Amino acid sequence: MKVYKNKNGQAMPDKSQFFGPEAFQKINQTEIRWLGNASMMINSRGTNIMIDPLLEGFDMPLLIEMPILPKDIPSLDGLLITHIDNDHFSRATCIDLLSVCQSYHAPKYVAQVMQEEGIPGVGHNIHESFMIDDVKITLTPTCHNWQKDSAKYNYREWKEEDYCGYWLETADGTIWLPGDSKLLDAHLKMPQPDVIFFDFCDNEWHITLEGAITLANTYPQADLVCIHWGCVDAPDFSPFNGNPENLLDKVINPERIKVLAPGEPIVLTRKEKQ
């Protein structure tokens, strides 16, 4: 586990591992990359999908370099957005990928906003499934509608279904992104995933550290790819400053905690179901 500290004591990952078009080629396995913050890339035997790619234009200072820029992406079969927050829905990234991305998917409200921005978003309901090539994708429930408590954002009714996670079924195993969310009872009743994109933010509108540990230990075989930490220079803002080291003595089978450098690939492996 390579965890570093900046001058403010904020935990950070190792240096970004830059990649280019070679990572999008057809392969005989499924590779996963954490792109920083809550951005992920999946190459499933040549089907390339990104989730919440934030590769440019963020409005807060960063601690990392992006491992790839939109101009260097040769093609995407699909791009998934979980919710409207600008550390997940990067309008600049989505727009700059229009010429190479085959499809955009999101909860229905986010897809509507995409369309207003000239992005051809396809809206989906929670629990709805769709296909991108031979990868089956299902929206999973979340609770992250924090805007309803803010006078600044009271211009609409913020519903839980405006936010989602994603469950992906590939030829090589299952990947689950629970998404930014409070821990829900439904999160503890999923099938055993092979990989969880693991948010462990100790924040009331995220899962909290206690909730993250409960989730991790409910699925003791799943690899835990740590996300939503170490990338935004915000040492006093809990959604961005978790430390994976705090998980080590609390998670069953801690060797499955994957602390990746942005851009570093790992191979999806199917776990024995218990």
Q: Is the pTM of this model over 0.75?
A: yes
Q: Which helix (H) or strand (E) holds 12?
A: strand 11-12
Mind listing the pLDDT tens digit for each residue in 186-230?
Answer: 999 999 999 999 999 999 999 999 999 999 999 999 999 999 999
Examine residue 60 and state whether it is found in any structural domain, yes or no.
yes
Say what the pLDDT of residue 274 is. 55
Cβ-contact 13, 262 below 8 angstroms: yes
> Does 273 score more than 80 pLDDT?
no
Domain boundaries, position 88: 4-267
Name the one residue in this structure whose structure tokens are 């801690």: 254
Examine residue 273 and state whether it is found in any structural domain, yes or no.
no
Examine residue 89 and state whether it is found in any structural domain, yes or no.
yes
Examine residue 272 and state whether it is found in any structural domain, yes or no.
no
Arithmetic mean of pLDDT over the chain: 96
At residue 155, the 3 state secondary structure works out as coil
Q: Return all residues near 156 (Cβ < 8 A) that are at least 6 apart.
A: none
Residue 211 belongs to domain with CATH number:
3.60.15.10
Number of domain units in the chain:
1
Examine residue 192 and state whether it is found in any structural domain, yes or no.
yes
Mind listing the pLDDT tens digit for each residue in 74-131?
Answer: 999 999 999 999 999 999 999 999 999 999 999 999 999 999 999 999 999 999 999 9
Examine residue 66 and state whether it is found in any structural domain, yes or no.
yes
DSSP characters over 90-115 = -HHHHHHTTTTBS-EEEEHHHHHHHH
> Does 3 score more than 60 pLDDT?
yes
> Does 141 score more than 80 pLDDT?
yes
Examine residue 157 and state whether it is found in any structural domain, yes or no.
yes
Mind listing the pLDDT tens digit for each residue in 221-262?
Answer: 999 999 999 999 999 999 999 999 999 999 999 999 999 999
Confidence at 182, pLDDT banded by 50, 70, 90: very high
Q: What is the 3-state secondary structure (H, E, C) of 132-162?
A: ECCEEEEEECCCCCHHHHCHHHCCCCCCHHH
Rounded to whole angstroms, the Cα distance separating 151 from 164 reads 23
Instruction: Look up residue 212 and give its two tokens.
Output: 């993250």
Cβ-contact 253, 260 below 8 angstroms: no
Examine residue 47 and state whether it is found in any structural domain, yes or no.
yes
Say what the pLDDT of residue 238 is. 94
Sign of CA dihedral 234, 259, 15, 56: negative
